Structure 1
Amino acid sequence: MSSEQSTVLIVDDERSIRLSLRTILSGLGFMIIEAARGEEALALIRTAQFDAVLLDINMPGMGGVEVCRMMRKNSARLPIIMLTVQGSEDRKVEALDAGADDYITKPFQLRELIARLRAAVRRNKISESGDKTILVGDVWLDPERHLVQKKGQAVHLTPKQFELLHFLMANAGRPVPHSKLLRSVWGPEYGNELEYLRTFIRQIRIRIEDDPANPKYLITESHIGYRFSEST
């Protein structure tokens, strides 16, 4: 996906971070717009079109989580990546529940941030194209025909295993909290059934991973949930 056509909104109260990101991302072909406060970012979202948002979680005035929640109300598909601090698992989950697509921990590695940003923009472009099938590495899933293949060979899943895999693959590259997975696939009454979820994850890993003990697709996000990796 060419970054030349991609416009990114950077929202951070620290001018040095905005300047650093602008310099690097502009050099890669992204068009950059900046906002120092959440209120300013929301005003920009209402008047301009963006391909992705990099949003700091801790800002004076309106915090990043609330900004994310309001952005998500206005745009269901806008990719939002939160910039978080080390060790703030509860805040990360809160951001994901508010509608963030992903998060990057400060101090972040630039290569990781660029990869996450490009993946978010690419996912958004693909979703706009209307193609329902999903291909990640050697795993292919057709949601309409309920088919899964690994290296061209059929993978047999129960209906719930398929639904869980579909949800994770549809959000490939994004960390999905335990509670969101449980409620989305099984219903609101299953929000705390973590061992139930782990059992299904183990079963799916046996069927799609070359080495289930060292998965390359279904990655555990410690204390948060799971991510279906795009980097395979």
Structure 2
Amino acid sequence: MKERILVVEDEPTIATGLRDDLELEGFAVEVVDDGTAALSRILEEKFDLVLLDLMLPGMDGLTVCREARSKGRRTPIIILTAKGQEVDKVVGLELGADDYITKPFSRRELLARVKAVLRRGREDPGPGKVYGFADITVDTGRFEVTRRGERIELTATEFKLLQVFLEHRGRVMSIDELLREVWGRDAILTDRVVYTHINHLRNKLEENPQEPRFLVGVRGVGYRFDG
């Protein structure tokens, strides 16, 4: 069965180009041109990936991302940003987007990002392991994180990042290692993506994100998981 991608873009030329490039790669593509319709489709249907422009009529892309995550949708999201929208990139990642692409982008970059995010989403976690730290339980087989029985919602990328840390407890991991382990060797990303996702995990897992107990930064080297 073809993987389904929802393209949310109000510029007809860009939307058509995205549809054509993705369909040539064998994906099933649906296009919507405003944020309100996009959120409805994300909540109603199961997509394997959403390509989400930020500047949209009806509802902006950041709001779409926030609302989708607040309603428990873990569908991978790649946000499309224009040059100079650095703040929007960071906010988008903090709201739960998995990656971003800056316009204008090449077909090669687009497909590399799409395939990398889809690959993370469909990776087989294997038979599953259960990890525990403090009052938090992580079940990789069920793709579930709970605190005292209450579910903590993580995106696919956040879950993968946490899993990598748990598999290397006590060892300092460099930014390059984390990029390779979580996003893949062909990912075209900056260090900021790692920093933002780690901060997002801290906000969800740490009692005091400003003084983390588990996701500890080691200046000039990387990060260590001490749970």
Q: TM-score normalised by the shorter chain: which range applies?
A: 0.5 to 0.7
Identity of aligned residues (%): 36
Q: Which residue of 2 aligns with 1:202?
A: 221
Q: Deviations over 1:24-46 (max 9, x none)?
A: 11011000001100111112123
Residues 83 and 106 of structure 1 are in contact (CA less than 8 Å); yes or no, is this contact kept in structure 2? yes
Q: Deviations over 1:122-180 (max 9, x none)?
A: 111116766569xxxxxxx99599655xxxxxxxx736x36x99987774357231643
Q: Secondary structure at the match of 1:118?
A: helix
Residues 183 and 191 of structure 1 are in contact (CA less than 8 Å); yes or no, is this contact kept in structure 2? no
1:190 maps onto 2:223 in alignment: no
1:172 maps onto 2:159 in alignment: no
1:85-96 equivalent positions in 2, closer than 5 A: 85-96=82-93
Residues 164 and 182 of structure 2 are in contact (CA less than 8 Å); yes or no, is this contact kept in structure 1? no
- The match for 2:96 among 81, 96, 99 is 99
Q: Which residue of 2 aligns with 1:14?
A: 11
CA shift in 2, pair 1:25/1:98, >3 Å = same
Q: Which residue of 1 aligns with 2:170?
A: 158
CA shift in 2, pair 1:97/1:203, >3 Å = closer
Q: Which residue of 2 aligns with 1:151?
A: none
CA shift in 2, pair 1:190/1:12, >3 Å = same
Instruction: Please report how far the alpha carbon of residue 88 of structure 1 lies from its aligned counterpart in structure 2 after TM superposition.
Output: 1.6
Instruction: Please report how far the alpha carbon of residue 23 of structure 1 lies from its aligned counterpart in structure 2 after TM superposition.
Output: 0.8
Q: Secondary structure at the match of 1:54?
A: strand
Q: Deviations over 1:91-112 (max 9, x none)?
A: 1111011110000000012211
CA shift in 2, pair 1:8/1:67, >3 Å = same
| Aligned equivalents of 1:39, 1:101: Cα separation in 2 | 20
| Aligned equivalents of 2:77, 2:165: Cα separation in 1 | 31
TM-score, with structure 2 as normaliser: 0.65
Instruction: Please report how far the alpha carbon of residue 203 of structure 1 lies from its aligned counterpart in structure 2 after TM superposition.
Output: 5.3
Instruction: Please report how far the alpha carbon of residue 185 of structure 1 lies from its aligned counterpart in structure 2 after TM superposition.
Output: 7.2
| Aligned equivalents of 2:58, 2:178: Cα separation in 1 | 35
Q: Which residue of 2 aligns with 1:62?
A: 59
CA shift in 2, pair 1:47/1:112, >3 Å = same
Q: Residue type matched to 2:183 in 1? A: A
Residues 65 and 92 of structure 2 are in contact (CA less than 8 Å); yes or no, is this contact kept in structure 1? yes
Residues 72 and 99 of structure 1 are in contact (CA less than 8 Å); yes or no, is this contact kept in structure 2? yes
CA RMSD across the alignment: 3.8
| Aligned equivalents of 1:25, 1:131: Cα separation in 2 | 32
CA shift in 2, pair 1:6/1:158, >3 Å = same
Q: Secondary structure at the match of 1:33?
A: strand
CA shift in 2, pair 1:124/1:146, >3 Å = closer
Q: Deviations over 1:50-85 (max 9, x none)?
A: 000000011123110000111223344211000011
TM-score, with structure 1 as normaliser: 0.64
Runs of at least 5 residues in structure 1 that lack an aligned partner in the other structure = 134-140, 149-156, 206-232
Q: Residue type matched to 1:27 in 2? A: L
1:52 maps onto 2:63 in alignment: no
Say how many residue pairs are matched.
181
Q: Residue type matched to 1:49 in 2? A: K
